[in-house]
Structure 1
Amino acid sequence: MFPIPQASLEPNTYAYETVPLVKPTGFREYDARWLFGSEINLMGVQALGLGLGTLIHERGVRPEIVVGHDFRAYSASIKQALANGLMAAGVTVHDIGLALSPMAYFAQFALDIPCVAMVTASHNDNGWTGVKMGVERPMTFGPGEMSRLKEIVLTGAGKARDGGAYRYVEDFPEVYIKDLTDRERLKHPVKAVVACGNGTAGAFAPRILEALGVEVVPLDTGLDHSFPRYNPNPEDLEMLHAMRDAVLASGADVGLGFDGDGDRCGVVDDLGEEIFADKVGVMLARDLSALHANATFVVDVKSTGLFATDPVLQANGVKTDYWKTGHSYMKRRVNETGALVGFEKSGHYFFNRPIGRGYDDGLVSAIAILDMLDRNPGRKLSALKDALPKTWASPTMSPHCADEKKYGVVDAVVTHFEQLAAGGGTIDGQAIRDIVTVNGVRVTVEDGSWGLVRASSNKPELVVVVESPVSETRMRDMFRVVDGVLRTHPEVGAYNQSL
């Protein structure tokens, strides 16, 4: 019998080397993240693999799995420990080696393997590790699967079985690269800064984009797991500023920045200005809905209201489905509804057929942006951005709220706005036009201004976003109203940032 994992162990002791360490908080809503060494050890990773293999058998899924790892000093060791646990559970492991997360998802299709476990901490600081998992391609785990996996692992319910095996898949990146590049080259010249933050994407992104005819200006594309300049996260200002400087210095048409495991792509325009991911999504939706009439787009509730109000999208017969924030929720919704694309404000884009396979891939997103430019010769990316209706949006703001309190607070806020709407109430004299409650509450008034309150998926925080298509003043008005409701709950603390 495998030892039952412990929540804490003293490093550099006999117990640390002989007992699995698995801190329970590492099991999140739709993936797993731990600080390696202090929150999980290699035996703990092996226990995770044994638990995942047990869950695979419990679900009646064919016991074969793709595994890969990102470029961190310890990721290969963690992957091997995970594979040992999976094999002990009677699962055949297909190891694709160093990979991007979307490369592992692609391998499920290319190798006809039902399950996936990608060892990655994405854009987290060094010291972090984690696993993105799924047993039903192209979906990854949601709260139900993660809760059951947590139960199996922490109670020591993982079961050893015969039949486990290991297969190393040679040169699999070539299969992935061919899949993305076996198409027509871009018709018009384009120069792109390709920023990778010394993360895993540096091994693949420049080569793929050059094969499509892009003049690549490489930025931090050499692999270095110490991340010497900044973490590979295209939402962080350090990376965005480096991209801006490189675009302006080189005269590039666009800056494309990839996160640590390559499932997101951040964008800087030809003037060196960042375009938030939801606004890039509107630009892509305009472009694609002209080619795919009456398309449906799934959009997370944090994203701009332009998906529902933009006159070009309305003229193209677009249907917008606002849904829960989180890559697992979004991925599942896109596949359940048959939407053309799902857009998440964090930069996860889920392109469905005929463009993609329903999972998030930063390179597929980058190629879609380049195709959009190619279909608009003579128009700069900044011009396409400026053609969007103007809106004023807040950053994502997160007031502190304890994990055991945050969902109750959100429920109360939802009830407040639902009762206000049902009673014909107004917000600053504006009638309530729409309420979306799939993930907290997003309330929109008649002039299109809206505010969102939801619980953070993995921190003791709430999430607040406001936007107005009218003015900055109306955006601030919406924040004042939303914050006023939150201040009736003493459990809600200070914001990490505010207007």
Structure 2
Amino acid sequence: MFPKPEPVLKPNTYAYESRPMVKPTGFREYDARWLYEKEINLMGVQALGMGIGTLVHAMGQRPEIVVGHDFRSYSAAIKVALVSGLMAAGMKVHDIGLVTSPMAYFAQFDLDVPCVAMVTASHNDNGWTGVKMGANRPLTFGPDEMTRLKEIVLNAAFELREGGAYRFVQDFPERYIADLTSRPKIKNKLKVVAACGNGTAGAFAPRILEALGCEVVPLDCELDHTFPKYNPNPEDMKMLHAIRDAVLEHKADVGLGFDGDGDRCGVVDDEGEEIFADKVGVMLARDLSALHPNATFVVDVKSTGLFATDPVLIANKVKADYWKTGHSYMKRRVNETGALVGFEKSGHYFFNEPIGRGYDDGLVSAIAIIDMLDRNPGKKMSDLRKALPKTWGSPTMSPHCADEAKYGIVDQVVAHFEKASSEGALVAGQKIRDLVTVNGVRVTAEDGTWGLVRASSNKPELVVVVESPVSEARMREMFAAVDGVLRAHPEVGEYNQTI
């Protein structure tokens, strides 16, 4: 019998090398992330593999799974441990090697394999590892599956089976690249900065964009798992500033930034303006709804209110469906509603047919942006930005809050604003017009200025976003109001970035 995982073990001891360690908080809402060697060891990863295999069998799914890994110094070792656990649970493993997360999702379709387990910590700092997983393409696990998986692993309730097998799929990235580039080239030449933050996408993004007819200026595309300049995160202002500088230096038409595992895309326009991903989503929604009137777009609660108020989208009879933040939640909602696209402020975009297959892929997003520019000859990215109604919005801001405390804090913040709304109290100087509590709380004042507080699903942090259609001053007033509520809780620490 495989031993029950321990929540903590001391490194460099017999116990650490002979028993599994799995910290329970690593099981997140829709994927799993741990600090490697501090919160999970290799035997713990092996237990995770056995847990995934046990759950797949319990779900009645065909026991075959795609496995890949990102470019971190320890990811290959973690993948090997995961594979050993999967095989012990009777899974046939299709190993596609060093890839981006969207390549693993694509492999489910291309290889006709129902399940996926991608070893990646996405944009998290070095030291983190994790797994994005699913058993019903194009969906990934949500809270129900993650709760079941957590119970199986922590209780060592594994069902080990015969029949496990291993297959390495050689040169799989070539199949993915061919899928994206087997199409006509763009008609109008574009100069594109492709920024990858030394993450996994650097091995593939410049080549794909060049094959589509773009002139590519590569920026930090050399793979380096120390991430020497900044984390590959297109919400990080350091990365966006680096892209801005390169766009201006090279007089590029657009800058495209990809995160560590390649499933997100950030945008800087030809004037060096860093456009948050939700505003880029409005531009894409305008462009695509002209081709597909009456389309539904799923939008996460962190995103701009323009999806509901933009006159062009209203004229095109667009339906905006605000939903929970998180790639698993968004994928499911897009799939269930038949929406054309799901847009998330973090840069996860979920294109359904005829554009994509329903999963998040930073390069599919980049291609959609390039096609939008190609369909609008004579208009620059900055022209499309300036055509939007003006709003003042913040980046995603994340104050530290321990995993054990963050959900309780958010519950108290929700209760605070619900009480304020019921009593007619003022927030940022105005009464509350609307509360959305589908994912944390999004509080909107009478003039449309809003603020959001939610718990991060993948790090020990809260998430704060504010926006105003009135002025920068109103945006800052809302931030002060929201932050004032958070400061009543000593468990809430410093922000990673603020306005």
Do they fold alike, i.e. is TM over 0.5? yes
Alignment-derived partner of residue 331 in structure 1:
331
Amino acid in the other structure paired with 2:386: D
CA 1:289–1:92: 2 relative to 1, 3 Å: same
Alignment-derived partner of residue 29 in structure 1:
29
In the aligned structure 2, how far is the partner of 1:423 from the partner of 1:321? 28
Q: Is 1:240–2:240 an aligned residue pair?
A: yes
Q: Give 1:493 deviation, angstroms.
A: 6.1
Render the CA deviation track for 1:396-421: whole Å, top value 9, x for unaligned.
34455565554445445444544555
Alignment-derived partner of residue 91 in structure 2:
91
Secondary structure of residue in 1 paired with 2:166: strand
Render the CA deviation track for 1:425-481: whole Å, top value 9, x for unaligned.
665775644332211222323432222232333455443322111112322333344
Alignment-derived partner of residue 154 in structure 2:
154
Secondary structure of residue in 2 paired with 1:194: strand
Where in structure 1 are there 5+ consecutive unaligned residues? none
Q: Is 1:288–2:302 an aligned residue pair?
A: no
Q: Give 1:104 deviation, angstroms.
A: 0.3
CA 1:259–1:484: 2 relative to 1, 3 Å: closer
Alignment-derived partner of residue 464 in structure 1:
464
Amino acid in the other structure paired with 1:57: H
Q: Structure 1 stretch 322-331 or stretch 477-486: which is displaced more?
A: 477-486
Alignment-derived partner of residue 181 in structure 1:
181
What percent of counterpart residues are identical? Answer: 80
In the aligned structure 2, how far is the partner of 1:405 from the partner of 1:9? 22
Alignment-derived partner of residue 393 in structure 2:
393
Q: Is 1:477–2:477 an aligned residue pair?
A: yes
Render the CA deviation track for 1:117-159: whole Å, top value 9, x for unaligned.
0011112222221111101111111122112111111111112
In the aligned structure 2, how far is the partner of 1:483 from the partner of 1:241? 25
In the aligned structure 2, how far is the partner of 1:28 from the partner of 1:446? 35
| Conserved 8 A contact 2:25-2:404 | no
In the aligned structure 1, how far is the partner of 2:393 from the partner of 2:84? 48
Q: CA RMSD in A?
A: 2.2
Amino acid in the other structure paired with 1:385: R
After TM superposition, the structure 1 = structure 2 runs for residues 30-179 of structure 1, keeping only pairs within 5 Å, are: 30-179=30-179
CA 1:402–1:136: 2 relative to 1, 3 Å: same
Q: Give 1:282 deviation, angstroms.
A: 0.9
In the aligned structure 1, how far is the partner of 2:489 from the partner of 2:236? 31
| Conserved 8 A contact 2:298-2:333 | yes
CA 1:401–1:20: 2 relative to 1, 3 Å: closer
Q: Give 1:109 deviation, angstroms.
A: 0.9
Q: Structure 1 stretch 22-31 or stretch 321-330: which is displaced more?
A: 22-31
CA 1:24–1:471: 2 relative to 1, 3 Å: same
Q: Is 1:20–2:35 an aligned residue pair?
A: no
TM-score by length of 1: 0.94
The number of aligned residues is 499
Secondary structure of residue in 1 paired with 2:470: coil
In the aligned structure 1, how far is the partner of 2:19 from the partner of 2:166? 24
CA 1:444–1:66: 2 relative to 1, 3 Å: same
In the aligned structure 2, how far is the partner of 1:15 from the partner of 1:450? 51
In the aligned structure 2, how far is the partner of 1:360 from the partner of 1:60? 25
CA 1:113–1:278: 2 relative to 1, 3 Å: same
Secondary structure of residue in 2 paired with 1:342: strand
Amino acid in the other structure paired with 1:45: V
CA 1:20–1:248: 2 relative to 1, 3 Å: same
Where in structure 2 are there 5+ consecutive unaligned residues? none
Q: Structure 1 stretch 246-255 or stretch 459-468: which is displaced more?
A: 459-468
Secondary structure of residue in 1 paired with 2:291: coil
After TM superposition, the structure 1 = structure 2 runs for residues 373-388 of structure 1, keeping only pairs within 5 Å, are: 373-388=373-388
CA 1:174–1:459: 2 relative to 1, 3 Å: closer
Q: Structure 1 stretch 119-128 or stretch 471-480: which is displaced more?
A: 471-480
CA 1:428–1:277: 2 relative to 1, 3 Å: closer
CA 1:6–1:321: 2 relative to 1, 3 Å: same
| Conserved 8 A contact 2:235-2:395 | no
Render the CA deviation track for 1:64-102: whole Å, top value 9, x for unaligned.
000011112221221111111101100100111111100
In the aligned structure 2, how far is the partner of 1:128 from the partner of 1:351? 28
In the aligned structure 2, how far is the partner of 1:366 from the partner of 1:222? 19
Alignment-derived partner of residue 194 in structure 1:
194
In the aligned structure 1, how far is the partner of 2:177 from the partner of 2:16? 41
| Conserved 8 A contact 2:32-2:458 | no
CA 1:220–1:465: 2 relative to 1, 3 Å: closer
Secondary structure of residue in 2 paired with 1:95: strand
Amino acid in the other structure paired with 2:78: I
Q: Give 1:284 deviation, angstroms.
A: 0.8
Alignment-derived partner of residue 6 in structure 1:
6
CA 1:93–1:459: 2 relative to 1, 3 Å: closer
| Conserved 8 A contact 2:436-2:443 | yes
Alignment-derived partner of residue 453 in structure 2:
453
In the aligned structure 2, how far is the partner of 1:62 from the partner of 1:492? 44
In the aligned structure 2, how far is the partner of 1:485 from the partner of 1:165? 53
| Conserved 8 A contact 2:196-2:259 | yes
Secondary structure of residue in 1 paired with 2:66: strand
Amino acid in the other structure paired with 1:12: N
In the aligned structure 1, how far is the partner of 2:416 from the partner of 2:127? 42
Q: Is 1:312–2:312 an aligned residue pair?
A: yes
In the aligned structure 2, how far is the partner of 1:405 from the partner of 1:71? 31
In the aligned structure 1, how far is the partner of 2:305 from the partner of 2:212? 33
In the aligned structure 2, how far is the partner of 1:228 from the partner of 1:412? 39
Alignment-derived partner of residue 303 in structure 1:
303
Q: Give 1:498 deviation, angstroms.
A: 4.8
